[in-house]
Amino acid sequence: MIAEVMEMTDNNNNDKRKLSEESQNKSNLRALLKKRWFLPSIYLGVAAILMIGVLWVQADRSDKQSLQSNKNDVVFGDKDSAPVNGTTEVFNWPVTDKKAVGVIQPFYDVNGSTEDQEAALVNYDHSFVQNKGVNIGTKDNKSFTVTAAMSGKVTKAEKDALLGYIVTINHGKGIETIYNSLQTLDVKKGQQVAQGEKLGKAGTEDFNRAAGTHLHFEIRKNNMAVNPEKYFSKGLSALNNVKKPSTEATNAGAKETTETPKKQKPEQKPSQKKDGKSDTKQDKKSGSETDQSTNDEGANS
């Protein structure tokens, strides 16, 4: 019985102690709330936490938008854009095996020799046309695989009644490569192609039947054709200083290749009568002088 009474007494003491502690805590809290700096510090702490959360969310969104923008620049560029080429990328021969082919007809250079210019003329429809690229073929006139000379975007891939299948690739900075006289087509307009990627197979074209099976390859800067052989193994920057040839040089080259030598007029001969005497004024004058000389001699005698 005594033990029970003592236990009850201890429990009551514990309860009083707890109530005393709770009362003390409440008292301390009330005292803390009465402090002027307490509530402002609470507000500042909450505001700081909220600000940190907002900044973290914005930074995460910015990173995602930047990544998406970079993807769009490559895949969803505007119509005239082209992928950026690597700094080490240069113009390669547009074939898989360079050793198996060669230039069978050169580029027409307005400053070249007469012999070189004649070799670069294409005979079509009874007239001569200057070759704006190089014609590449094999010794045995066999077809071969045609590849992209440099990575870029295909802006034209179609069949032409005169030139066969044609492909145009945009490399940026106003520079394009053109591939004509293809017998097959392995790319389509709008496609991004890598350097060395297959475009088709070399074939023939009605425009230049004499060349046989070949690839007509051009490099153009702002739609002006340049000699591809001068730019193989060179990058886009090599075309920075390309300028149009002077009008005089162009006209001189065109005149030299299109004009034919003028026929010389035959020397005029005086017409003769049947009896062999001349009826020209010169003959009459000579005859008159002869008669006058004879008369003078007779008078003197």
- Grade residue 138 by pLDDT with cuts at 50, 70 and 90: very high
Q: Are residues 105 and 241 in the same domain?
A: yes
In the chain, the number of structural domains is 2
| Span of 3-17, 84-98, 161-175 with lowest mean pLDDT | 3-17
Q: How far apart are CA 215 and CA 50, in angstroms?
A: 67
143, 201 in Cβ contact below 8 A?
Answer: yes
Pick from 168, 150, 166, 164: which is nearest to 236 by CA? Answer: 150
What is the mean predicted confidence (pLDDT) over 150-178?
A: 96
Q: How far apart are CA 259 and CA 114, in angstroms?
A: 13
Paired tokens of 76:
């969803």
What is the mean predicted confidence (pLDDT) over 211-237?
A: 96
Q: Which pLDDT score is estimated for 140? A: 95
Q: Which pLDDT score is estimated for 163? A: 95
Tell whether 269 is covered by a domain. no
Q: Are residues 51 and 147 in the same domain?
A: no
Q: Are residues 130 and 20 in the same domain?
A: no
Domain boundary among the residues 258, 273, 296 is at 258
Angle between helices 38-75 and 2-33 (to 10 degrees): 70
**What is the domain-level CATH number for residue 188?**
2.70.70.10
Q: Which pLDDT score is estimated for 56? A: 84
What is the mean predicted confidence (pLDDT) over 105-113?
A: 94
What percent of the chain clears pLDDT 70, i.e. is strictly above it? Answer: 62
Residue 200 CB neighbour total at 10 angstroms: 23
Tell whether 103 is covered by a domain. yes
What is the mean predicted confidence (pLDDT) over 195-209?
A: 96
Tell whether 84 is covered by a domain. no
Evaluated on CA atoms 184, 186, 188, 192, the torsion sign reads negative
Paired tokens of 301:
């005698």
Identify the residue whose tokens are 């390859």: 217
Tell whether 133 is covered by a domain. yes
Q: Which pLDDT score is estimated for 24? A: 67
Domain boundary among the residues 258, 275, 296 is at 258
CA dist 4 → 7, 11, 16, 120 (Å) = 5, 11, 18, 125
Extended strands (E) in 174-277? 175-182, 192-193, 198-201, 215-221, 224-226
171, 90 in Cβ contact below 8 A?
Answer: no
Tell whether 226 is covered by a domain. yes
For residue 300, is pLDDT > 60?
Answer: no
**Straight-line distance from the first to the last Cα atom of the chain, in angstroms, rounded to the nearest whole number:** 206
| Span of 8-17, 168-177, 238-247 with lowest mean pLDDT | 8-17
Higher pLDDT, 219 or 9: 219
Tell whether 12 is covered by a domain. yes
Q: Tell me the Ramachandran region of residue 296: left when phi exceeds 0, alpha when psi lies from -120 to 50, beta otherwise.
A: alpha
Q: Are residues 14 and 124 in the same domain?
A: no
Residue range 50-104, pLDDT digits in tens: 888 888 888 877 777 766 655 555 444 444 444 555 557 899 999 999 999 999 9
Owning domain of residue 28? 2-69
Tell whether 278 is covered by a domain. no
Specify the amino acid at residue 126: H
Q: Specify the DSSP class assigned to residue 239.
A: G
For residue 239, is pLDDT > 70?
Answer: yes
Q: Are residues 112 and 29 in the same domain?
A: no
For residue 3, is pLDDT > 80?
Answer: no
Tell whether 162 is covered by a domain. yes
- Grade residue 179 by pLDDT with cuts at 50, 70 and 90: very high
187, 154 in Cβ contact below 8 A?
Answer: yes
Q: How far apart are CA 61 and CA 56, in angstroms?
A: 9
For residue 146, is pLDDT > 60?
Answer: yes
Q: Are residues 20 and 106 in the same domain?
A: no
Q: How far apart are CA 257 and CA 223, in angstroms?
A: 23
For residue 117, is pLDDT > 90?
Answer: yes
254 CB-near residues (< 8 Å, 6+ apart): 130
Extended strands (E) in 171-275? 175-182, 192-193, 198-201, 215-221, 224-226
Average pLDDT score over the chain: 77
223 CB-near residues (< 8 Å, 6+ apart): 176
Paired tokens of 130:
């200057």
